[in-house]
Structure 1
Amino acid sequence: MVEPPTPGGQPPGSPPASPPAARFRGEVRGAITPRAGLIMLGVLILELAFVVSYIGAFHSPTPDKIPVAVVAPAAEQRAVIEKLNSIPGEPLKGQPADTAAQARAMVLEREVDAALLVAPQEGGDRLLVASAGGPSGVQALELVFQKADPSRPVQVTDLRPPNEADGRGLASFYLAVGLVVGGYLASAAASASYGARPANPHRMLIRLGALAVLSVLSGLGGAIIVDLVFDALPGHFVAIWWIGALTTFAAAAAGMAFQVLLGPIGIALSVLIFVVFGNPSAGGVYPAALLPPFWRDLGPALPNGASVALIRNYTYFGGHHTATAWWVLSAWAVGGVLVSALAATFRRRPKAADGTMAPAAPGGTGAAA
């Protein structure tokens, strides 16, 4: 005797069909694993952090205590400095200079961003600037002086404009950004072979050696592009080459350290530090004096900002005012190497069946190789 079909149309003896909602949930679980969901959530957080950081840094550039040397007759100098420092919002920070020659040297050696030469007998003052350090900063300075005393004209003299092929003086910024991005992407590429955590210190040193070689080539390529190809930053080929090599290696070594400590999450941390925070705080589109306090203070401590300062100051200002930037890049490079080496040496190895520490695997895939 043949059994009639069930009310739902299923053959007799077959399990009942799942409700549509249950089938949809099953498809979702099959398409997006919990791990993939967490990664997507992390990407969303990085995306929003990127938007917040860039808009926060650039939405309202405002001069804040821009250092200005003041040369004036002895009877007037203190009053002029106090007047500059009392402008609403404190956009300027005046400091005395004895002579015009001293003030000029202070501008070109990056001790100050501008110098005001007060000449009461001539009925007009001179403002010495160096727009190669950031044209946007010079424009902001001109606007501040125009608003401070419209009745007293200020003649602007640009002591060091950008090279003609450097446009708005941004070649150093874009070069530094490219070098930093290349560094942390190289460390991520190295981890793609056998995982983020090498199995032993020897393999960690081999990876770091490979990153060092790539960094030298990266600096060489960057110098060729900005000097020989586009003529944007000519005349300082060797200096730019080695600044570029150190910049790339600092980002690569730090990226490797993040990955050794945190695994794949270390790549996201590299993006957060070098892209989300590093690029807008590097003093490219707007110099540091126009950025809000958080980005202005953070920039010099990151490889991006240190690299921009080195490239720009060696290209236009004879390498003055670069000691801090050298220390910052060196600290990131050396710190990355030390953290990676120590983590690879002391990383806990899996226990064997007898409770002893098992030897590191000679190869293979996964997190250790």
Structure 2
Amino acid sequence: MGGIALGAEGVDVYTATAAGPSTAGALTTVGNTLAEQQQAQATVHDVVPFSQDDPRGAGLASAARPMIFGGIVPAVALTRLFPGHSRLRTRLVGVLAFSLVAGAAVAAFLQFATGSLDGNYWLTSLGLSLGMAALATAFVGLEALLSFAGLGAGAAVMMFLGNPLSGLATGPHWLPAGWAALGQALPPGASGSLLRANAYFDGTGALIPALTLTAWVALGLALALIADRRGRSPRTAAAQAEVSAA
């Protein structure tokens, strides 16, 4: 995001570092090169910078892992604490409640403890909570449907694919087109874009990532519903009764 304006008095470079420091750096380099060719001076205007306490955006770049673990940890813990088909709804309610608390805690740490984020705290925390809920409900649904193999596979995809493709460090537009689209379709990338929009751009650009995360929540609930119906079928109930009797 940004632009270059050529004028009689020099070159004006407009950047938004908070949208992606790599893009801001590239625009600045191009502006300086043009200014040298015209024997003029380049003036850089950072329209949307990172916060003064975190001018390089280290806090934003490191936010992907807390969001991912905020989805994995409650799903695993609640599955251990409340196993079985009969406690599936308890697990779902638990991960949603945990997401609200964890989102508020992570937002408070990044905004008040480290000063990495600007913007409305409650809006930022709700966005983080939605991201964690998208991951946690998907993990619970996968575990309910496919046992721990499903949860493990989902966690591996989010850690080793969703995390590097999230674009938090550079901005998603800096990634190759296909990989950038895939990264934004996964919860870590959508969560990162929602966090960036809420924390630095007053919610501008938040709609698509918010809808993406809502779709993941709906997917997790749908998987849990399928598992719930399968668990209530007479054949499955009889099989569980035989296992219990044995």
TM range (shorter): 0.7 to 0.9
Which one-letter code corresponds to 1:134 in the other structure? G
The residue type equivalent to 1:125 in the other structure is: V
One-letter code aligned to 1:199: H
Percent of matched pairs sharing the same residue: 27
CA contact (8 A) 2:11 2:34 kept: no
| Matches of 1:331 and 1:205, distance apart in 2 | 19
* Structure 1 residue 280 corresponds to structure 2 residue 164: yes
SS in 2 for 1:260: helix
CA pair 235-156 structure 1, distance change in 2 beyond 3 A: closer
SS at the partner of 2:117? coil
Aligned counterpart for 1:358 among listed residues 231, 234, 238: 238
Cα-to-partner distance string for 1:268-304 (whole Å, 9 max, x where unaligned) = 2122321111111111222223223342121211111
Determine helix, strand or coil for the equivalent of 2:68: helix
Secondary structure of 2:142's match?
helix
| Match of residue 192, structure 2, among 308, 316, 329 | 308
Q: Secondary structure at the match of 1:128?
A: strand
**2:85 aligned residue:** 199
What per-residue deviation string (whole Å, max 9, x for no partner) do you get for residues 2-40 of structure 1?
Answer: xxxxxxxxxxxxxxxxxxxxxxxxxxxxxxxxxxxxxxx
Structure 1 residue 136, shift from structure 2 partner: 2.1
| Letter in structure 2 aligned against 1:269 | A
Q: Does 1:162 align with 2:46?
A: no
Q: Deviations over 1:186-232 (max 9, x none)?
A: 1122222465xx324xx211110011111111012112211222222
3-state secondary structure, aligned to 2:62: helix
Write the distance in 2 (CA, Å) between the matches of 1:116 and 1:136.
16
User: Shift in Å at residue 242 of structure 1?
Assistant: 0.9
1:233–1:315 CA contact under 8 A, matched in 2: yes
Residue type of the partner of 1:262?
A: L
Distance in 2 separating the partners of 1:193 and 1:135: 43
The count of residues paired between Structure 1 and Structure 2 equals 241
Q: C-alpha distance in 2, partners of 1:305/1:138?
A: 20
Q: Output the CA distance in 1 between the equivalents of 2:34 and 2:72.
A: 45
What aligned pairs does 1:105-144 form with structure 2 within 5 A after superposition? 113-119=1-7, 121-122=8-9, 124-144=10-30
Which amino acid in structure 2 is aligned with residue 142 of structure 1? T
- Give 1:260's aligned residue: 144
Equivalent of 2:112, from 197, 220, 228? Answer: 228
Task: Give the alignment's Cα RMSD to 1 decimal.
Answer: 2.5
Instruction: Give 1:140's aligned amino acid.
Output: A
- The one-letter amino acid of 2:213's match is L
Q: Give the equivalent residue in structure 2 for 1:105.
A: none
Name stretches of at least 5 consecutive residues in structure 2 with no aligned partner. Answer: none
Q: Superposition pairs for residues 71-150 of structure 1, below 5 Å?
A: 113-119=1-7, 121-122=8-9, 124-146=10-32, 150=36
The TM-score normalised by the length of structure 2 is: 0.86
- For structure 1, the 5+ residue unaligned runs are 1-112, 365-369
**1:344 maps to which of 204, 214, 228:** 228
Secondary structure of the 1:358 match is helix
Q: Say if 2:17 and 2:48, in contact at 8 Å, map to a contact too.
A: yes
Greater helix content: 2
Distance 2:4 2:137 in 1: 44
The structural deviation recorded for 1:328 is 0.6
Q: Secondary structure at the match of 2:77?
A: helix
Give 1:347 deviation, angstroms.
4.2
Whole-Å Cα distance in 1 between the matches of residues 115 and 35 of structure 2? 40
| Local SS of the residue matching 1:284 | coil
Query: Which shifted more, 322-331 or 223-232?
Result: 223-232
Name which one, 1 or 2, has greater alpha-carbon Rg.
Answer: 1
The aligned runs of 1:5-20 (5 Å cut-off) are none
